[in-house]
Each structure stands twice: as C-alpha cells, then as structure tokens.
Structure 1
Amino acid sequence: MKLSDYKFDLPVELLADRPSEHRDEARLMVLNRKEQTIEHRMFKDLIEYFDEGDLMILNNTKVFPARLYGLKEKTGARIEVFLLRELNAEGRLWDVLVDPARKIRIGNKLFFGEDESLVAEVIDNTTSRGRTLRFLFDGSYEEFRTKLKELGETPLPKYIKRDVEPEDEERYQTIYAKHEGAVAAPTAGMHFSKHLMKRLEIKGIDFAELTLHVGLGTFNPVEVEDLSKHKMDSEQIEILKNTADVVNSAIDNKRKVCAVGTTVMRAIESSVSADRHLNPYSGWTNKFIFPPYEFSIANCMITNFHTPQSTLMMMTAAFAGYDLLMKAYKEAVEEGYQFYSYGDAMLIL
C-alpha cells in the first residue's frame, strides 16, 4: 500500500483540543471485523464487549513535563526546549529539540526559571532542530529532576494551539501511569476512569501492564510514497515475565486479548515467539506496522482516531482491515467524532 491510500479530508474543528468532561464519556465507535459492522457507543459501554477471563494490556508509561522555555544568553531570546532523551545516569546530558533552532549554536548557554537558577550549555548539533544540552546543576539527581518538573510544562501536541492549563497535567496522562519516560501520552488509555476500571475488575476482566516510552517520533510524518521505505524512530520498551505469562495464558485459553493503544500493539508485536506467544523483553523497538500484516498476540484493540497518513492510522488499518477502517473514518467525520490525542475512541473486535 502507498502513502496516498491514507489520505482523507479531516476538518480542523474535529481535532480535539480538550478532553471529554469525564474520561469514560468520550464517544466509542465499535468495529466488528467479522460482521463488518459499525456501532456508535460511549466509552463506558466498553464493558459490554468483554467477559470474565478476557484480558486488557495497558501501557503504564508516564509523561513527564518535557517542554521548557529558556532565555538565550546575551540576546535574551525566548527559546523552546523539548526534552527528548536522557543520555547519562546523572541526568545532566539530554537530546532535545529547540525552537527557533537557527538561533542556537554549539557553545550557547540557555537560562531557565525566573531566577535563571538552571543553566544549560549546547554541546552538539544532532539534527536541524536537534541539540545535545549539558545542564549545569550542582544538586543531586533527585533535586535536578525536581527542578526540571518545576520548570517544565505538560507536552501537549503542537496541533493544540491553546496554552497549557492546570487540568492538562492530570488529563494528558492515564490513571495507571507509573514509569516516567514518555514525551507523549498513550492516548487510548486516557479514556479509562477509576470507576470503569473497578467495574471491569468486578466483571472478571484481567489486566497486564507493559511499558513503552512514547517518543516524538510517533508523530513524525511519513514522507515516502512507498511505505516499506519509511523508518520509525526507536522507542524503549519493557515487557516483564509476569506480563508475558498472563498474556500467554489468555491466548492459550482462547480469551479476548485487547491491546489498549497502538503503543501496546507495537510493543507486543516486537517480541513474539516462534509459536506466536509473547516473550519478555527489555530494549528498543523501531517496528513499523502497516498492511498487510499478520498480528500474533492481540485479537482486539482500543485506539483513538488518527490523523491522515499517520503511522498510527496505518497500524490501525492493518488490524481493522483497510476498507472497514476507511469506511469508519468517513462515518466518524460525518458524525463529528473528535480526532487525535484528546479525541474519541474506537474498539476493534
């Protein structure tokens, strides 16, 4: 398949810039691959599609406040710094993106905070917008991370043009987030409320957790018509043995195994055994899933509505079936579903 196969008209007003009032009251479109049907529900109705012994796999990564604003020495120019990746155990070296990049050269210093108590020096260029920064800070690692959290803000995607609000700190995060390291949220999981999780638990639905630290690469545009030539950025994943055991038990017992989000699907498909079971794994993945693709672990999936020609849309098409997904997206636009990070959800059975 080609990049142009994933083009569709998405009105700008359908790009959600705020979450639904309550997590589990986003809209839910339900796709049945076998029956080729589409239903319109609420996210809290999800419970009706699962039975005792079914399994949901969650991504427990936690978003950290990765966007900082600093002032360039001498000129005082305001520079946005987006923290991408910690490069050493002390936490002082980081790969970052800077904007505007043309003003930032090796040797420049940036000052953060009203009292300019945190200073960083540019020590390398990595890409056109990428830089490596060395933070100059005398305290402990814990004190340094606390300082970054004080100065940073929730890294809402760029398509959201409004200022970050206090509510975003909680809502641009799943309620089960544990392991800090993501610069973007695993958004399908943001629809789960404590109340819905408790109802699912009472019904006997099981949960397993893994960690995939979502990077900005998940939003990188595909710039080649031939999808086989697109290269994904690597993201760090951790699948523990107890998670693999729970997943494999559900597979053996022919239960529903539901991947909550494209990040979970990417992680589990990156560590498949020869007999189509899940292996424990700690490392990195740059797996790019697009049609045609045979999935090994999950037999259902929860995801948000994705933007045209995105790698996330391509993975969803591989799972749902291209024709059914394109029909669903056309209906979603007609019905006014909200797209992207704060948007509505889709359950694919």
Structure 2
Amino acid sequence: MNIERILIPTDLSEKSNAALASADLFIEMFDCTVDLMHVIPMSKYLGDSFDQIGVPLNMNQDVYPKLIENQRKKLSGFANEHIDKKERRGEYIVTIDRKPSDSILNQIEKGNYDLVIMSARGAHFADFFHGSATDKVVRRSKTPILTLSETMLLNKINTIVVPCDFSNNSLAAIPMAFDMAKKFGAKLELLNVIEMYAHDVHGIEATTIGIDETAVYGGLKGRLRSFFNENEEYNFEVKDGEENFTDTIVHKNGEETSIEFKTVINKSIAAHHEIVDYANENADLVIMSTHGRTGLSRMLLGSTAEQVIQHIKIPQITIKPDLKKKS
C-alpha cells in the first residue's frame, strides 16, 4: 500500500485530537504528507438572511474571510501541538459549509488522497462525528477511511482482523490488511461470521445448531484463491498451512513477501454483534469493506458495516472496493 498523502479533518475539539496525535506514526511509516482540514458548519443561507434585514455587512467579503483566517490559525496551532514532523505538514484547509461531510468528500476527491484519518468522537455538541459527518464520509468515500477513538501507537497494533464473507467486495480488504500487517509487524486474522437467521431471534443459543466449520473454512479459502486469480493485479496467492485454519498469503511484486494468517469461523444471530465483540476483545485494528453480498448468508451489508463502525472501540479502516467486472 502506497500512502503519499493523508487528509485529517478535525472539528478542533480536544476529543477529536486522536487523529492529529496519530499523524506522526503514519508520517514515520510511509514518509507521507498530511493535510489538515476544518469545516465551519454554517448555514449557506446566513448571508441572505443578513441582506434581507438590512445589516450593513457582506458575508462573503466581511465575515467569511475573517472566520476562515481565524480558524486556519487555530488549525495551525493544533498542528503545532500534535504533529512533531513539521516538514511533513501540507495544507491547512478551512471551508464553510452547511454540511461538513460534503466539504470533506469534495476535498477527498479533489486532493487525490490515499488515506483519510478521522477521530471517532468530536465535541459533544458538534454534528461532525459519529452519527453524522464521519458516517456519511465512510459510506460515500472511495478513499480508505481510518477512524479511531484514541491515539494510534505502533506497539499497540499486534493483531489485525478482517471481517469477510464469501463476496469479492469483502475479500478486497485483505490486500490492504496484508500491507498494514507487514508495516506494523502484526498478526493477520480473517473473521467469518455465520449469521444463523435473517432476523432477530431471542432466547436461542446459535451454537446449538450444527455447522461444519472446516467446510466453511475450506470454502472461504477457495473463494480467496479465486478472488486473487480473478484479480491478478494484486499479485497475491494463498498457500496451504500445515494445519487447518492457518495458511499463508504470498505477495509477488518484484520480490516475494509472505505473511501467515488465521481463519476464524464464528456463529451468531446477528453478524455485527459478533464482529464487534470479537474485534474489541481480540483485535488492535479492523480493516473491512463497507459492502458485501446480500442473501440469507449475508454479512457485510452496508447496514452491518455501519453497526460495526458505530460500536467498535478500536481503530478501523473501511474501504469501498471498486472492482472491475470481468468480461
């Protein structure tokens, strides 16, 4: 994974500083440039309202430029507090928008970023983070989004978990997970959740229903092999391990590199509950696709991914794969 430019949107609250405080880690790992962004959530109709009541101010000429300059100074101050590597700071971007998520998405597309880092929580009064802007950005961004609740530290990323079903979209998160596992020196696990029912059932223990986990594991590994064969641009292959549920992914890109991965098969009535519980207990970073497949064995529907993002406590990277259909 080649990361040259990162965007970090912030609402300038202390609660949102986890993203800023994690910038140096990625600068050190990828030698990248970090742009900082702040959106002033102001109604675009405010200027018209002033004009109608006769206030002798022009919002575009008298008010907005001063607001933007003031917030740019604050953004620079936040950078001084949290990002040590000054030479790798890029632009300080300040915009005014009725919908902060729209400004962020526009900047992501315009700036051609490789990764966006957003704190999972902002000020309690802001409509900037989970439940609003962050969720909208995660749903719509074509660029991977890293969301986190606390500062990300290199020595705390020991296990990376990729929730995946049998869909190509979910499996497309694995190449990024491979690269991140290499960078962090972390273990890699693929988590497949067998969702027992398509609706909530109370008082039933899902594990009482028999499931051949070895068969599911074999099927998932076969799908992963097919995925890499169908998408040769990734230059990956899967080699069998000596024991079931433990295999090796090999990357052939000039020189051959490999990493061992473990497949975990769990059962649950609701997939997102199991993903959240397993990840919070066993993972230090989750990397997942925001779209999977539909049907009785669905797992990574948009709604499931959103539920995971809302409730998980550890850092997570979400991607929206743009897989080309094979002719």
- Common topology (TM > 0.5): no
TM-score normalised according to structure 2 size: 0.26
Computing the radius of gyration from Cα coordinates, the structure with the larger value is 2
